[in-house]
């Protein structure tokens, strides 16, 4: 079997050797020159994932192996974008005072909303890049992207609960707050996360209907 496509995976024969030395799937090793960390080894078919359980700061030689693969934003939205785009259309409509559809309408009234939607879609796909990188590089039971989403959901909680005149005003306020989130540097994917990714996470949450933008119903 060829080498798995992840920097934190080992062939089972290598994993078993490490686990024999570790005992109960735990081993303490030195990484770089900065610290020692408990490592969890989780066997999964022919692959054993290595997960750093605690660290002051990830070793640069490890984190540089985790990279975002750029995704092309489709010219027209695809089905997997349906929920968050509909939720944004509802917010735009509430702000405009009448029903609009930024994707289908073509007039000056929706131009500012279309510009916002274009930025939102870019942020959404940048967060998708981090999601993919995280799931390729961490153990199945330790997806750091899920941790990021949960952390940002808590971080923007007060903004979500504030009072707003309309949904679009709420969107912009929440996006601004999310953009100030600082991911802990102990996370292996921290170097992949910037303000645009954090804004994209808001739309990930909206896509899962965990965020409601409209305020007047």
- Asked whether residue 115 is domain-assigned, the answer is yes
Number of helical H runs and strand E runs in the chain: 8, 4
Q: Are residues 53 and 84 in the same domain?
A: no
How confident is the model at residue 143, as a pLDDT? 84
Q: Are residues 100 and 144 in the same domain?
A: yes
- Asked whether residue 23 is domain-assigned, the answer is yes
- Asked whether residue 213 is domain-assigned, the answer is no
Q: Are residues 89 and 179 in the same domain?
A: yes
Q: Are residues 86 and 181 in the same domain?
A: yes
Q: Percentage of the chain with pLDDT > 70? A: 69
- Asked whether residue 63 is domain-assigned, the answer is no
Chain mean pLDDT for the chain: 78
How confident is the model at residue 124, as a pLDDT? 98
Please give the Cα distance from 32 to 177 (Å, whole number): 35
- Asked whether residue 16 is domain-assigned, the answer is yes
Domain that holds residue 101: 79-207
Q: Are residues 24 and 101 in the same domain?
A: no
Q: Are residues 101 and 48 in the same domain?
A: no
Count of structural domains within the chain? 2
How does pLDDT run across 20-56, given as a tens digit for each residue?
444 444 433 333 333 334 444 333 333 344 444 444 4
Q: Which tokens is 50 given? A: 């290595």
Please give the Cα distance from 140 to 81 (Å, whole number): 25
- Asked whether residue 193 is domain-assigned, the answer is yes
Q: Percentage of the chain with pLDDT > 90? A: 56
The residue among 8, 93, 72, 92 whose CA lies nearest residue 42 is 8
Q: Check pLDDT > 50 for residue 148.
A: yes
- Asked whether residue 135 is domain-assigned, the answer is yes
By the 8 A CB rule, do 70 and 201 touch?
A: no
By the 8 A CB rule, do 49 and 9 touch?
A: yes
How does pLDDT run across 85-142, given as a tens digit for each residue?
999 999 999 999 999 999 888 777 799 999 999 999 999 999 999 999 998 877 767 7
How confident is the model at residue 62, as a pLDDT? 57
Q: Are residues 117 and 38 in the same domain?
A: no
- Asked whether residue 3 is domain-assigned, the answer is no
pLDDT bracket for residue 9 (50, 70, 90)? very low
Q: Are residues 97 and 196 in the same domain?
A: yes
Q: Which residue has the higher pLDDT, 106 or 75?
A: 75
Q: Are residues 151 and 181 in the same domain?
A: yes
Q: Are residues 114 and 35 in the same domain?
A: no
How does pLDDT run across 79-97, given as a tens digit for each residue?
999 999 999 999 999 999 9
Q: Are residues 139 and 199 in the same domain?
A: yes
Q: Are residues 187 and 89 in the same domain?
A: yes
Please give the Cα distance from 199 to 203 (Å, whole number): 7
pLDDT bracket for residue 63 (50, 70, 90)? low
């Amino acid at each position: 079997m060829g080498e798995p496509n992840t920097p934190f995976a080992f062939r089972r024969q290598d994993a078993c050797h490490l686990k024999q030395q570790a005992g109960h799937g735990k081993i303490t090793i030195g990484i770089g020159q900065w610290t020692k960390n408990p490592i969890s080894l989780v066997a999964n078919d022919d692959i054993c994932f290595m997960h750093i359980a605690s660290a002051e700061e990830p070793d640069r030689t490890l984190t540089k192996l985790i990279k975002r693969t750029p995704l092309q934003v489709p010219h027209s939205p695809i089905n997997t974008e349906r929920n968050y785009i509909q939720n944004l259309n509802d917010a735009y409509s509430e702000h405009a005072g009448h029903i609009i559809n930024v994707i289908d309408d073509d007039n000056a009234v929706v131009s500012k909303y279309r510009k916002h939607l274009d930025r939102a879609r870019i942020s959404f796909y940048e967060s998708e890049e981090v999601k993919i990188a995280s799931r390729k590089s961490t153990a199945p039971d330790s997806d750091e992207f899920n941790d990021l989403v949960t952390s940002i959901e808590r971080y923007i909680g007060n903004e979500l609960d504030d009072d707003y005149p309309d949904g679009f005003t709420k969107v912009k306020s929440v996006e601004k707050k999310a953009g100030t989130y600082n991911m802990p540097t102990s996370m292996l994917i921290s170097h992949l996360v910037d303000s645009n990714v954090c804004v994209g996470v808001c739309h990930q949450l909206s896509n899962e209907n965990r965020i409601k933008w409209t305020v007047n119903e």
